[in-house]
Structure formats: structure tokens, C-alpha cells
Structure 1
Amino acid sequence: MKNIKAIVFDFDGTLSLRSHAAYDKYRHDIKILFPEVDDTSIEFEAIVQNCMTWDQYGTVSKRFVFDQLAKTYKLDIEVTNDLASKWLDNFHEYQVLREGVVETLKELKKHYKIGCITNGDSKGQHSKLDYTDLKQYFDSVIVSGDFGIHKPDPRIFMESCKQLNVLPEEMIYVGDTFYADVYGATLADCTPVWLWPDKERPCNTDVHRIYSFTEIIKKIEEIKNQVD
């Protein structure tokens, strides 16, 4: 049996519904850029969906997204640059937690040390965690912007192990991004769990996978009961 002492989570897309937050934030900004377009129309929705495509799950800078907007729709580049630079000012206010997050964290905290490792700007990521009131459940919070290293660099996972006082093989790491989360945790010798709701997305590697956040407790028990 595996001796698991810590469960550590990614934030964006794992604890939060990052796509929902981005969608609502883009709708807000598109209303500013296109005041003449009915925000219930298919034209408005098409602009927003373009932004969601360019956004690439939040892995690119907002300047890239708004540059694409400016080029595609012949917008004033100064206005789009201003919106891009202000993206993080209130993005935390759009955060939506996945179903069951709080209840699951409360239950897990009874039995394990709980942590969070999240890539991103220090102010932006801490604001999200504060706004969603999740810090109270964590024994360790690591924001890449505070450390100058980012997932999948194994050193950031090792730092989490150090703060939680556990060995890498005693940690389960849950995340939605295969490269940053699954690959990174593997490089650090932690056990990754990939949260990806799209059951049609293929994966040719034998990794622990869940399709909803509420499956995590059951998956942890499966991992613990594995024979090395």
C-alpha cells in the first residue's frame, strides 16, 4: 500500500472553473469594446468565443488575446492594450469553484496535509485564493510568481513537499493541465491525478484520471491500495 500523507492541488481549472471565469470576464470586456453589439446576439457570442479560442486555457498572455481582437476587428490598439493590462485587476471576482470543492477539502483535511501549487502572477493568484476563501484549508500555498519557477519544473513540487514535510512519494498532486501538472508531478516523483472532464480526449499514457472533482476521494483510496 502507498503511504499518502499530502494532497496538493492546482488552482485554475482544478479547484476553479477557469473557463467560466474567463468567459464572463471576456463578455465584460467585449461589451466595452463593442457597445453597439447586442450582448444577446450571435455576433456578440462569436466575438467572445474567438477570445476563448485565442486564450488557450489561459496559457498565453492577455496581450496576445487582445492583439488578436484588435487585428481581427480593426480596433484601437491603445484601448485593447489598456484592457489587457488591467485584466488581473478584478479577474479574481469572476472565479467560480468546481462543484464539491469546499466539502471535499474539508473532508480531506481531516486525514491529510493539504496544499496548493499554482502558476501565475503573485498578486493575481493570491487574490483568487483570497476571494474564494480557500486558503483556510491549505497547509501550504505556492504561487510560481513568488518563486520565479513554474510548473512543470520539479523544484516547485519539491518546495511543496518541503513545506508540508512529506516525501515526494507521499504526495498526490491533482491538476487539469497535462504538461504543467501531470508531467511536472511525475518529474518530481509525486503521484499525479489528471482532472479532465472531456471523456473524448484520448490519452495514450497510463495515468490516474478523474472526470469530476468529486471523484478525488475515491481515486485517492484506489492509489493508496495499490501494491508497489
Structure 2
Amino acid sequence: MKFDNIQHVYFDLDHTLWDFDKNSALTFEMILKQERIDIDLSEFLDVYIPINSNYWELYRNDQISKESLRSGRLKDSFEQLKMNIPLETVDSLATKYLEYLPQNNHLLEDTLEILEYLKPNYKLHIITNGFEEVQNDKLNNSKISKFFTTITTSEEAGVKKPNTKIFNLALEKASAYPENSIMIGDNFEADILGAKNAGMKFLYFDYYQKREVLECLQIQKLKEIYEYL
């Protein structure tokens, strides 16, 4: 089934095009060594990843600040691991993490192929809740910024997905109509429900392949976009 009358394709970035999990793990491997923190990387990530996910949900819902997100997720992880890490070390890790993360540039499988396929026929865009300076560096360092006509961040919009204001801003920047636009992302609430409420079409990227029963079209691999666009 092909979507009709689509002119603009909006993507989320992390876990949709940019391989956040791999790049994040590589970053932690480096900065934990720099700070001489002796812990198995997989043991640390097993604790950190769900805590980070919870912090991002709080941040998305405006329950915590950017600064609380940056350091709190690390502080809580070390506490759960029963590691007594000084606050100044936690702050140093938080700063280094955001500095080095976008220097890793691994993309998800089929990202370049799909972008090259879509580019001749659609205007491509990014809508992201990530920190503006970090997201722009990710796009530039992974050499995919050239594919996108506009990039809209939550910091620019003053609200985060799923708030319709960020989608409306992204549409306005592109002179796009919602009925001619589609959102593709891995977060059902932020990307799919947000796009739906903004009047856009949507395609859910089931990145973790949970295969949940949801009232929307789903893909498990980016190359499945061929079936719809």
C-alpha cells in the first residue's frame, strides 16, 4: 500500500536513522575509561538504559529540566549499581557524554539507502526532541544533513513531541500541509500520536521489534518504507 499525495517526509533521528544505542555504548566505553571508573560496560548499560528512558519520558512531559536529565540519569545509575561516584565526576561524565556522543556516526541499517531513494521525490525533514547542538552535530558528523530541507528541534519549538506545536512549526518551516506530510519515528506516543494529532499521516518504526498490536501501520526495518512511499 502506497501513501497518496505525500510531498514531505518527516523523520525522528535517534533510534530511527541514527544508531543511538551503538553510538551511546561507544561513548560510554571511552568516557568511563577516561574517568577511571572500573565497571563492565554491559553491566553499566543494563542499569543505565532503562533509567535514561524514564528520564527522557519525564523530560518529554516537562517534569524535569535539561540539566536534571543530563546528570540525574547518571547519578541514579551509579546509585543503583552501589558505586560511590563523586558529584564532580558525574558532572564531568555528563558533559563529556554530550561532547563525544555526536562524534560517533553509526547509522541504522538501510538509512543511507532509504534517504537516497526518497530524496528525489520528497522533501525530507527532521523533528527531534534531542538537544539542539547535539542533534545538529550528529547529522553533520554522520554526513546525512544534506538530505534534509528543515530540522526542527524541541528547544527551537519551546515544546517537545507529542505537543502539536512542534509539528505545526515543522510544517510551517517547510510550507507543508499536514495532509501531504508523513511522520516516521520509533516512539509511538511522541512521534505517532503527535503526528496524528497534528493531522499528518504516520508510519511507526518498531525499532525494538516488539510487534505490539497498535492502530497504525508499522515497519520493523527501514527498507520496508519502500512498500509505502
Which TM-score tier does this pair reach, normalised by the shorter chain?
0.7 to 0.9
Q: What is residue 223 of structure 2 aligned with on the other side?
A: 214
- The alignment status of 1:124 with 2:124, answered yes or no, reads no
By how many angstroms is 1:57 displaced?
7.8
Unaligned runs of 5+ in 2: 60-68
Deviation at 1:197, TM superposition (A): 3.3
Cα distance in 2 for partners of 1:45, 1:197 equals 20
Contact 1:70 1:77 in 2 (8 A): no
3-state SS in 2 of match to 1:174: strand
Q: Distance in 2 between matches of 1:210 and 1:125?
A: 24
Q: Structure 1's 69 and 31: CA in aligned 2 closer, same or farther, altered over 3 A? A: farther
Question: C-alpha deviations, 1:145-185, integer Å up to 9, x for none?
Answer: 22212111112112222222221011011000111101110
2:51–2:77 CA contact under 8 A, matched in 1: no
Aligned length: 214
- Indicate conservation of the 8 Å contact 1:151/1:184, yes or no: yes
Q: Post-superposition shift, 1:201?
A: 4.2
Q: CA deviation at 1:125?
A: 1.1
Q: 2:46 aligns with which of 45, 49, 59?
A: 49
Structure 1 residues 103 and 199: CA distance shift in structure 2, 3 A: closer
SS of the aligned residue for 2:228 comes to: helix
Which position in structure 2 is the counterpart of 1:78? 88
1:27/1:52 Cα in 2 relative to 1: closer, same or farther (>3 Å)? farther
Partner of 1:64: 72
> Which of the numbers 25, 29, 44 marks the counterpart of 1:27?
29
Identity %: 23
Distance in 2 (alpha carbons) for counterparts of 1:141 and 1:78: 34
Verify: 1:90 aligned to 2:96, yes or no. no
Q: State the match for 2:6 in structure 1.
A: 4
Question: What is the CA deviation profile of residues 6-37 of structure 1, one whole-angstrom value per residue up to 9, with x for unaligned ones?
Answer: 11101011011111112222222332445555
Alignment partner, residue 40 of structure 1 = none
Shift of 1:48: 3.0
Would the aligned equivalents of 2:12 and 2:191 in 1 still touch at CA under 8 Å? yes
Q: Which amino acid aligns with 1:67?
A: K
TM-score (norm 2): 0.85
3-state secondary structure, aligned to 2:14 = coil
Task: Measure, in 2, the Cα distance between the counterparts of 1:168 and 1:156.
Answer: 13
Q: How far did residue 219 of structure 1 move?
A: 2.3
Contact preservation (8 Å) 1:194, 1:209: yes
Judge which range, 28-37 or 150-159, deviates more.
28-37
Q: Which runs of 5+ in 1 are unaligned?
A: 38-42, 221-228
Normalising by structure 1, we get a TM-score of 0.85
In 2, Cα distance between equivalents of 1:44 and 1:7: 36
Q: Which has the larger radius of gyration?
A: 1
Q: Distance in 2 between matches of 1:132 and 1:57?
A: 27
